[in-house]
């Protein structure tokens, strides 16, 4: 992975904590506006290191597949006759305004690279959603039952809605 550009933004809305996130290939670090410059740079370096270690932690398709199997085992297998497997899963870069997609006929799941740097509970929610489509194509009652087996679904949806609004996207559903 190449070294991303880092931008430090001073925000008057931030009071005590700093925040780092990926934005169009750069890493943006928001720091409280009153923070001295050397402290801001040190804080930014720490947050960027943490963000990047999370990225490399879930770097390749194999890691993603392992995580998806874990999520299927923990939340969904007991709700589906014979379990949720088999499936194949990979990261993709071209999911416009979608977090993931599922093709039940080939049991293939694709997850947007954008999700890779999001918190684990958000990735797990996206996995639960797409894995649930292996058992149920529509977003009907059975689907909602499967998805609700994941305890952090509402929080994760809130995170994704916030991201969608922040990026100025129209909401889309995979
Ligand atoms: Zn869906």
Q: pLDDT per position in the chain (174 positions), as tens?
A: 456 688 899 988 887 788 888 777 788 899 998 888 898 888 888 888 877 766 655 568 988 999 999 999 999 999 999 999 999 999 998 667 789 999 999 999 999 988 988 889 999 999 999 999 999 999 999 999 999 999 999 999 999 999 888 877 776 666
**Cα dihedral 113→115→118→121 (10° resolution):** -140
| Whether residues 77 and 34 fall in one domain | no
Preceding amide of 128 cis, omega within 30:
no
User: What is the Cα–Cα distance from 77 to 150, expressed in whole angstroms?
Assistant: 12
pTM: 0.67
Specify the number of domains making up the chain: 2
| Whether residues 81 and 53 fall in one domain | no
Residue 146 Cα to ligand 1 middle (Å): 12
| Whether residues 79 and 40 fall in one domain | no
- Residues across the chain: 174
User: What is the Cα–Cα distance from 110 to 136, expressed in whole angstroms?
Assistant: 17
| Whether residues 16 and 99 fall in one domain | no
H or E segment and range at residue 159: helix 153-166
At which of 35, 57, 79 does a domain end?
A: 57
| Whether residues 71 and 130 fall in one domain | yes
| Whether residues 17 and 73 fall in one domain | no
**What is the DSSP annotation of 4-69?**
PEEEEEEETT-SS--EEEEETTEEEEEEETTS-HHHHHHHHHHHHHHHHHHHHHT-SHHHHHHHHH
| Whether residues 50 and 84 fall in one domain | no
What domain range includes position 86?
61-167
Residue 34 Cα to ligand 1 middle (Å): 43
Residue 169 Cα to ligand 1 middle (Å): 17
How is residue 77 written in tokens?
């297998």
| Whether residues 74 and 155 fall in one domain | yes
| Whether residues 50 and 119 fall in one domain | no
Residue 143 Cα to ligand 1 middle (Å): 9
| Whether residues 40 and 106 fall in one domain | no
């Amino acid at each position: 992975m190449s070294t991303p550009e880092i931008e430090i933004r001073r925000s008057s809305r931030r009071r005590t904590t700093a925040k780092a996130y990926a934005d169009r290939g750069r890493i943006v670090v928001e720091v409280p506006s009153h923070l001295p410059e050397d402290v801001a740079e040190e804080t930014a370096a720490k947050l960027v290191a943490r963000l990047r270690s999370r990225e490399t932690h879930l770097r390749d398709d194999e890691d993603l597949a392992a995580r998806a199997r874990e999520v299927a085992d923990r939340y969904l297998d007991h709700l589906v006759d014979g379990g949720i497997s088999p499936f194949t899963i990979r990261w993709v870069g071209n999911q416009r305004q979608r977090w993931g997609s599922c093709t039940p006929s080939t049991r293939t799941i694709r997850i947007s690279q954008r999700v890779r740097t999001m918190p684990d509970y958000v990735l797990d929610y996206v996995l639960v959603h797409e894995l649930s489509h292996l058992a149920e194509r529509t977003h009907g009652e059975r689907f909602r039952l499967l998805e609700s087996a994941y305890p952090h679904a509402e929080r994760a949806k809130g995170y994704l809605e916030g991201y969608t609004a922040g990026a100025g996207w129209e909401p889309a559903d995979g």
